[in-house]
Structure 1
Amino acid sequence: MAEPWLSADDIAAHLGVTKDTVYTWIAEKAMPAHKVGRLWKFQASEIDDWVRRGGAAGDDTP
């Protein structure tokens, strides 16, 4: 079965951050995200890999 696509709210909850932080990470830290119309969609496995590689490292987020 294919992995479901998650919303920005879902990914924010998954990571324990705000939705604003998710959008900042998309723009400034190359967080893996896919634009579908006006919405951003995510796959948890891509996000988890990105976090493990240090993509969210640093303390420069609001």
Structure 2
Amino acid sequence: MPIDDILTVKELAEYLKIAEKTAYRFASDGKVPGFKVGSAWRFRKSEIERWISEQEQKQEGGQE
């Protein structure tokens, strides 16, 4: 597994183009798939990409 496959909160925020506070809140609320290493959140890029696809499908499904 490449090291780039694991993202920090800051990297997730940059990847999703959202504020770090928002990324942290999404993680804390379970809105994005992540895990904690000690007290720090980490995210698998592959799971974030799958989550993005799921969000796109939800939006497409809601439109007529």
Same fold (TM over 0.5): yes
**Normalised by the shorter chain, which TM-score bucket?**
0.7 to 0.9
Q: Normalization by structure 1: what TM-score?
A: 0.73
Runs of 4+ deviating beyond 6 Å: none
**1:3-61 Cα shifts (integer Å, max 9, x gaps):** 32211101110111111111121233531011000100111111111111018x8xxxx
**In structure 2, what is the equivalent of residue 47 of structure 1?**
48
If each structure's helix is expressed as a fraction of its own residues, which one has the higher value? 2
1: CA distance between counterparts of 2:31 and 2:13? Answer: 15
Unaligned residue ranges in structure 2 (runs of 5+): 59-64
1: CA distance between counterparts of 2:29 and 2:36? Answer: 16
Counting matched residue pairs gives 56
Aligned identity (percent) is: 27
- Output the aligned Cα RMSD: 2.2
If each structure's strand is expressed as a fraction of its own residues, which one has the higher value? 2
**In structure 2, what is the equivalent of residue 34 of structure 1?**
35
Q: Normalization by structure 2: what TM-score?
A: 0.71
Aligned partner of 1:53: which letter?
A: E
Q: In terms of Rg, which structure is larger?
A: 2
